[in-house]
């Protein structure tokens, strides 16, 4: 049975979640549902206030989700 570490899964998830957030914000703004002007003034990359806040929450979500995904992988392998 192969095992992927929770850290590797969390790292992959963090990138996926971040991409989803950025795409969603862009789509909502394009649709006229939100105005991100104020948000984007403090979401300018690593070290900026909102970027670091969002990144912290994404990393927490990815960390806590990784073990569930690992269990799913292991359960699937055990069925094979």
Q: What is the pLDDT of residues 15-65, one digit of tens each?
A: 999 999 999 999 999 999 999 999 999 999 999 999 999 999 999 999 999
Which are the contacts of 78, defined by CB distance < 8 A and separation ≥ 6?
Answer: 1
Asked if residue 22 belongs to a domain, the reply is yes
Give the domain extent around 11: 6-79
Asked if residue 44 belongs to a domain, the reply is yes
Q: What is the pLDDT of residues 1-12, one digit of tens each?
A: 567 899 999 999
- The full DSSP string for 11-54 is HHHHHHHHHHHHHHHHHHHHTTS---HHHHHS-SSTTSHHHHHH
Asked if residue 57 belongs to a domain, the reply is yes
End-to-end CA distance of the chain: give it in Å, rounded.
10
Instruction: For residue 49, count CB atoms less than 10 angstroms from its CB and return exposed for 0-12, middle for 13-18, buried for 19 or more.
Output: exposed
Closest Cα to residue 6, out of 55, 66, 64?
Answer: 66
Q: pLDDT value at position 3?
A: 77
**Mean of pLDDT over the chain:** 92
Asked if residue 41 belongs to a domain, the reply is yes
Q: pLDDT value at position 76?
A: 87
The pTM of the full predicted model, rounded to 2 decimals, is: 0.82
Count of structural domains within the chain: 1
Asked if residue 1 belongs to a domain, the reply is no
């Amino acid at each position: 049975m192969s095992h992927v570490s929770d850290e590797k899964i969390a790292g992959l998830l963090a990138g996926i979640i971040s991409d989803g957030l950025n795409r969603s914000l862009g789509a909502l703004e394009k649709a006229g549902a939100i105005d991100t002007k104020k948000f984007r003034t403090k979401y300018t990359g690593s070290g900026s206030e909102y970027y670091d806040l969002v990144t912290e929450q994404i990393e927490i979500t990815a960390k806590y989700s990784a073990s569930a995904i690992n269990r799913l992988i292991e359960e699937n392998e055990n069925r094979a």
